[in-house]
Homo-oligomer: A and B are copies of this chain.
Amino acid sequence: MSEGKANPQLWQKGLPLDEAIHRFTVGDDPVLDQRLLKYDALGSAAHALALAHAGLLAESDAGALAQALSGIAARAGRGELRINPEQEDCHTCIEALLTQQLGDAGRRIHLGRSRNDQVILALRLYMRDALLDTAARTAQLADAFISFAKQHADLPLPGYTHLRRAMPSSFGLWAGGFAAGLAEELQALQSVYARLDRCPLGAAAGFGAPLPLDREYVAALLGFAAVQTSPADVMNSRGRHELALVNALASIGLVLEKFLWDAALYCMPELGYLKLPDAFTTGSSIMPQKRNPDVLELARGRCRELRGHALMLQELAGGLPSGYHRDLQLLKQPLFMSLDTAYGLLDILLRLMPDLQVDEKRARAACGDDLYAAQEATRLAQEGMPFRDAYQQVARQLLDGSFKPDRSASLCTHLGGVGNLGLERIAADCAALKHWIGETRKRLQACESQVWNSKMSGT
């Protein structure tokens, strides 16, 4: 990892063998696993309750464990818990704390699960939350595009194809397109959630646990829609799930990259349809006349980076026989990096959109008569002239300077057209998704509370 050490290449030289191997196998886990602490605690508490439910652990022990894990999760949430490099990962860190606090009861929690299904559970709980966080931001950003589109619904903008002015468009049509794209991506996120919505616990090392565990009980405790039935599939889905989520992020990036490219072009002085607020531009250290759209460019680069993370995960997720192999540990870093990239990208655009300014004068000026050539030919065709003839007539008029289109005729009134943007439909799609996000979060929070507080039932 890129810790920027002055001499990263030297650290291993003088180390004793065991220490060198320890560092190689641990890798960045102590840092990466910080964000899993809470989820491993939650999954462990549910496992403790499931053991008690199956008569494999005293109810009082289960209650004590849930309470202790609740405290651990709370400390992790406040950033007060650090995984010690010697502890390797979040699992050992939590085990150490439990054993320290509860003695034997702490040690009893490991019955019937393996490290592998423990990490899969923690990751699944984490991804479930991270997906909802991403979806919430994406929905907000879709709303911001809709607001922008409504605000400038009727303001004309030249529609470009091939980087050439093509046909009359509007700021409303342009911005509404990004809202629509994000709405589609929100639905895609929802379907990735369905992949994640099955509980892996009980798979143990991939062949089940030789204990009478009630997998449906624990799945319900953790708010999953179902059990991920096959323990073999639990192991084999490692990588596939991460990739599905990161592919969804990269697809959001595909939507936003087009917006960012457009914005970078539209705020070129040569076009000038958009103006960036000063806070979003950067001066040059040597050119006094310049303000650069660094934020747009970095955000655009982040969209490519999201694709890069997806490519990385494709490499890491494939190429292995079934079952657990230690290579899979490497999946965590690109997953986390990808989510952080997405958060940063969405957050900065949420800040930008309300402040993005249009230059109405330049936009109107750019909508010259030429832009209406296709519409005029269509109008003539609609009046009866064969389209080929109409096209030729307009072309001749354009050449000899006599072209005068009937611009009043140009409003596209069909659904989605300049005169009938259908923003309320796009908004309705987003609203449905926001509702789903809200309900899901509420439900998961209720489950979580119940797990943390189930000491009650244990006493």
Contact = CB atoms under 8 A, between A and B. Distances in A.
Interface string A340-379: 1001100110010000000000000000001101110111
A96 to B, nearest CB: 14
A289 B370 contact: yes
Contact of A207 (B173, B179, B336): B173
B78 A6 contact: yes
Q: How many copies does the complex hold?
A: 4
Interface string A422-435: 10011000000000
A181 interface: yes
A155 interface: no
A327 B232 CA distance: 25
B340 A373 contact: no
A298 interface: yes
Interface stretch (A60-68, A186-194, A438-446): A186-194
A204 interface: yes
Contact of A168 (B207, B250, B299, B413): B207
A79 B302 CA distance: 30
Interface residues on A, range: 35 or more
Given A1-B337, A324-B161, A210 B379 contact: yes
A223 to B, nearest CB: 18
B210 A279 contact: no
Interface string A396-430: 00100000000001111111111001100110000
Between A76, A334, A416, the greatest number of chain B beta carbons within 10 A of the residue's beta carbon is seen for: A416
Nearest to A300: B327
A166 B290 contact: yes
A7 B339 CA distance: 12
Given A298-B327, A308-B312, A319-B319, A211 B414 contact: yes
Contact of A414 (B208, B333, B418): B208
Contacts of A379: 210
A188 to B, nearest CB: 7
B316 A297 contact: no
Contacts of A318: 253-254, 257, 303-304, 307, 315, 319
Contacts of A210: 374-375, 378-379, 409-412, 417
Given A318-B307, A324-B162, A104 B386 contact: yes
Contacts of A208: 173, 412, 414, 416-418
A9 B343 contact: yes
B378 A35 contact: no
Interface in A308-338: 308-330, 332-334, 336-337
A395 interface: yes
Given A8-B340, A279-B21, A162 B293 contact: yes
A417 B232 CA distance: 10
Between A255, A340, A421, the greatest number of chain B beta carbons within 10 A of the residue's beta carbon is seen for: A340
Contact of A21 (B13, B280, B313, B325): B280
Given A18-B279, A181-B233, A289-B370, 8 more contacts: A3-B34, A4-B336, A21-B348, A104-B386, A205-B286, A210-B411, A262-B321, A301-B325
Q: Which 5 A-B pairs have the closest CB atoms?
A: A177-B232, A301-B327, A191-B191, A4-B34, A308-B312
12 contacts: A6-B38, A7-B79, A176-B230, A211-B378, A214-B414, A229-B422, A270-B271, A284-B374, A289-B373, A289-B394, A301-B326, A301-B330
